[in-house]
Structure 1
Amino acid sequence: MDTVHTMESMLNLRVHIAPVGFEIDRVVVPAAKMKADLVYLVVDRNIATDKSTKFQSEIIKKLKRKKIDSKVVYANRLQLFDIIRVVKEIILDHRDDEFYVNVASGSKIHAIACMMACMVFDDRKNIHPFYPQAKEYPAYKDNEQQTYGVEEIYGLPTYQLLTPNKDLIEILKIIKENEGRIQKKVLAEIAEDRKILNINAREENHSQARFASLDKKLIQPLMHTWNFVEEEKIGKNRWISFTDDGKNASEFLF
């Protein structure tokens, strides 16, 4: 049987991240086989309509019997970027530990989000997405466990998902702090205050140089390379706001 390699360490926890759907064995069996110390269960934020609650309860019981700790975190199961954000935050909270991210225990949206979350980190050597192949696939019945047992556990490769550099991300943060829309002149002032822009110009030319630097180094890449912002002129003022892509990216980049 092929299993994902686990690092034996007295210092680092083996942390599993598993979305909760209509699966039990595909969460519990890998956690036990791979000697997980802690399992984060990603459940639907809308508890009132979540049909997987009974599976969540059963998973927690079985993990407890195997002396594996579990924690529940919440993400909207239909919102890709919300799931990415939650998985990313778990990893950031335990950055030095070993992570094993289950892409088969939830929905297809969960699977895509989990893989994307693994790919946003520059250093991914301790992040291991995996796919547990089930032993049995019975005929589907509504609100019943979808598969039983685990035949093999396959490690999956991760590739870097390109993201904007630190300064561009800081500009996106400022825009988000202003509800997704900000006057360009104000953005330039804040960027300088936060040391994102360093302007070397005479006092009489300072404002113009700051505006030009913001445009060339930050706004243009965000507009034309990333398509994360757009610019609109209203009267004498120019405004910078998120595009749909920019709004989505702001949900998980920081």
Structure 2
Amino acid sequence: MHTAHTIMAKIAKLRIHIAPVGYEVDRIILPAKQERADKVWLLVHENKSNDKAVPFITKIIKQLEKLQIETVQESHDRQDLFKIIRAIKNIIEQEKGNEIYVNLASGSKIQAIGTMMACMMFNDDSNIHPFYVEAQHYPGFDTKQPLSTGIKEIVDVPPYSIKIPDQKLISALQIISEHSGKLTKKEMATLAENKEIITINAKEKNHSMARFASLDKNIIQPLEEWGFIVVEKIGRNRWIKITEEGSNAAEFLL
């Protein structure tokens, strides 16, 4: 028999914390404890042999275990802005339906920028809450000791939205990326129709013309406006080429 309590337990949202790991311990542990986190995702550098933060990861996990808070590690390149954004996006997708709290104070400056950008891009369900932790003491820099101890205040940061392309355009960008960033317009039209990114409502004899028109209006022109592609005529063919900006966007959108 299902009681009201068990039903509520099933539908209750978990409180998820995301924290890049640098040279901080208390700024990760204490907010998780104070805000009663159910799980903490630790963003760790993918190259552990070149990561001076490894001892801090061990300390954080041990302290969270004592608090009976689940920990999960997500590897990324902490020096690459786009890979930082992608790592946050991956976690947000996996924790869909839960309340997600993103720590902007526990890692490097580029991680803080990347995590904040991710919060602004992927907060579709209004369940993402970035916050900044003001430390109590700064004893001085020592790679064997945390940069700070204690916390003075946890400050909520409003996640203003950054617009990203709609899913059809992201799917189209993926097609172009999977073809080494370059394919003919004819190839793109066929693939876009097969993947139902565009729809054609025309008689068979007008099908090809209608397909190109739909591709131009719904895919090509918007991607050009975003600056993600350029179209060049080479011989008889028109080639769609991904731009540097498009390649950068693909790093975290796909």
Q: Do both proteins adopt the same fold according to a TM-score greater than 0.5, normalized to the shorter chain?
A: yes
> 1:30, CA displacement in angstroms?
0.4
| Deviation for aligned residue 1:142 | 4.1
Offset at 1:123? 2.7
CA distance in 2, matches of 1:188, 1:39: 44
Partners of 1:143 and 1:134 lie apart in 2 by 18
Match of 2:215 in 1: 214
Q: Choose 130-139 or 141-150, whichever is displaced more.
A: 141-150
Q: TM-score, normalised by structure 1?
A: 0.91
From the superposition, tell whether residues 166 and 156 of structure 1 become closer, same or farther in structure 2 (CA, over 3 Å): same
Provide the rounded CA distance (Å) in 1 between the counterparts of 2:72 and 2:197.
38
What is residue 3 of structure 1 aligned with on the other side?
none
Give unpaired runs (5+ residues) of structure 2.
Answer: 1-7
Aligned to 1:239: 239
Correspondence for 2:81: 80
Q: Is the 8 A contact 1:175 1:181 kept in 2?
A: yes
Going from structure 1 to structure 2, the CA distance change for 1:94 and 1:67 (only over 3 Å counts) comes to same
For 1:138 and 1:185, the matched residues in 2 are separated by 63
Give the SS at the match of 2:161. Answer: coil
| CA RMSD across the alignment | 1.5
Report which of the two has the higher share of helix.
Answer: 2
Q: Which amino acid is 2:76 matched to?
A: A
CA offsets per residue over residues 183-210 of structure 1, 9 Å max, x none?
2110001111122222223333321221
Residue 91 of structure 2 corresponds to 90
Using the TM superposition, give the Cα deviation of residue 121 of structure 1 relative to its aligned residue in structure 2, in angstroms.
2.5
Report if aligned partners of 1:118, 1:124 keep a CA contact under 8 Å in 2: no
The answer to which of 115-124 and 181-190 deviates more is 115-124
Q: How many residues align?
A: 245
Task: State, as a whole percentage, how many aligned pairs show the same letter.
Answer: 49
Any runs of at least 4 consecutive aligned residues in structure 1 with deviations exceeding 6 A, and if so which? none
Please name the residue that 1:35 is paired with.
36
The DSSP-based 3-state class of the residue aligned with 2:63 is helix
CA displacement 1:26-68 (0-9 Å, x = unmatched): 0001001011111000000111111100010110011111111
In 2, the alpha carbon distance for the partners of 1:142 and 1:198 equals 57
- Which consecutive residues of structure 1, in runs of 5 or more, have no partner in the other structure? 1-8
